[in-house]
Amino acid sequence: MWPYKLNLTLKHFDFSRVGGGGYGAFWNSVRMSFYTALIGTAITFLAAYVIEKLKPFKSLRNAAYFFSMIPVALPGMVIGLAYIFFFNPLEWKFGQFVLPNPFNFLYNTMAILVLSNIVHFYTVSFMTATTALKQLDNEFELISESLGVPFYRTFWKVTVPLSLPALLEMAMYYFVNAMVTVSAVIFLYSPRLKLASMAIVNMDDAGDTAAGAAMSVLVILTSVGVRLLYDLATNGIARRASLWRKR
């Protein structure tokens, strides 16, 4: 009977008597956030590396940088509605030819949720990556090129280790925001793939405020736990990654 009874109890963490998906929805959110952090960090850092470090095709790099800035100006609702229209099982007609939507296989899947989150939170992570790459000396690539070392080896052996603090920060940012987001995924999740943030909204609408608050506590504790893991992982990594500046 919250907020009329404020005595401490754990019974509201039993979601079997309320709607919203319960612990299944919570673990779906954890999985979605983990995939978003892993895939989003890799894609964002590779894109930032191509734009910042690879010098040919300057006009294409400028266009890619411009498109990387666009998501920060798009509300999540716009992204969610756009994905509904784009990935729907529509048919494209070209005269007498009918072509089914080749991207429809992503509809109502975890993949479309992960993709929408990556696009939604891309710009901030992209700026983090570009800032980290700009701090690295360009002589790394020049020396590698003069020695005949492939650029991908320099990227894996030098750039990634030196940018590890930024990579972990990007992953943490993606994970936490994917756990709590509502605006985009509210249009894309399916009844078979419920999420914790959607469960909170649905339970609150149904009058199960206490259960919704309990689910909110789980989401917050998970986000705090990931933040603590980030702090532990970066303890000393940033110092070791910046030793080259003192030599």
Residue 17 included in any domain: no
The pTM of the full predicted model, rounded to 2 decimals, is: 0.88
- For residue 1, being part of any structural domain is answered with no
185, part of any domain:
yes
Q: 99: which strand partners?
A: 92
Q: Could you give the angle at the alpha carbon of 169 between the alpha carbons of 166 and 173, nearest 5°? A: 140
pLDDT of residue 1: 66
pLDDT at residue 155 above 90?
Answer: no
The confidence band for 180, taking pLDDT boundaries of 50, 70 and 90, is very high
pLDDT of residue 245 exceeding 60, the answer is no
Confidence of residue 246 (pLDDT cuts 50, 70, 90): low
Q: What would the pLDDT profile of 50-101 be if each residue is shown by its tens digit?
A: 888 776 677 788 888 899 999 988 888 999 999 988 888 777 676 677 778 7
Taking the C-alpha atoms of residue 200 and residue 213, their distance in angstroms, rounded to an integer, is 7
Q: Beta strand 91-94 with 97-100: parallel, antiparallel or unpaired?
A: antiparallel
Residue 233: Cβ-neighbour burial (10 angstroms; 0-12, 13-18, 19+): middle
- Is the pLDDT score of 242 beyond 70? no
pLDDT given at position 28: 95
Q: Which domain holds residue 76?
A: 22-242
* Distance between CA atoms of residues 162 and 237, nearest Å: 9
pLDDT at 137: 76
Is residue 98 classed as helix, strand or coil in its secondary structure? strand
Bridge partners of 91, per DSSP, are: 100
C-alpha R_g of the chain: 22
Residue 116 in this model has a pLDDT that exceeds 90: yes
Tell me the longest C-alpha to C-alpha distance in the chain. Answer: 73
pLDDT tens string 162-178: 888 899 999 999 999 99
Across the chain, what does the average pLDDT equal?
86
pLDDT at residue number 239 = 63
- The burial class, CB within 10 Å (0-12 / 13-18 / 19+), for 212 is buried
**Residue 157 binned pLDDT confidence (cut-offs 50, 70, 90):** confident
Question: Residue 236: its pLDDT value, please?
Answer: 67
Summarised one tens digit per residue, pLDDT across range 33-43 is: 999 999 999 99
Within-domain flag for 223:
yes
Name the residue type at position 38.
L
Give the helix, strand, coil percentages of the chain, each rounded to 5. 70, 5, 25
pLDDT at site 70:
92
pLDDT of 240 reads 65
CATH value at residue 52: 1.10.3720.10
Residue 13 is assigned to a structural domain of this protein = no
Tokens for 87? 């990935």
Q: Is 20 helix (H, G, I), strand (E, B) or coil?
A: coil
Task: Indicate the number of domains in the chain.
Answer: 1
174 part of a folded domain: yes
Q: Residue 16 domain-assigned?
A: no
* Average pLDDT of span 194-202: 93
Percentage of the chain exceeding pLDDT 90: 44
Binned at pLDDT 50, 70 and 90, residue 238 comes out as low
- In the chain, the percentage of residues whose pLDDT exceeds 70 is 92
Any domain includes 12: no
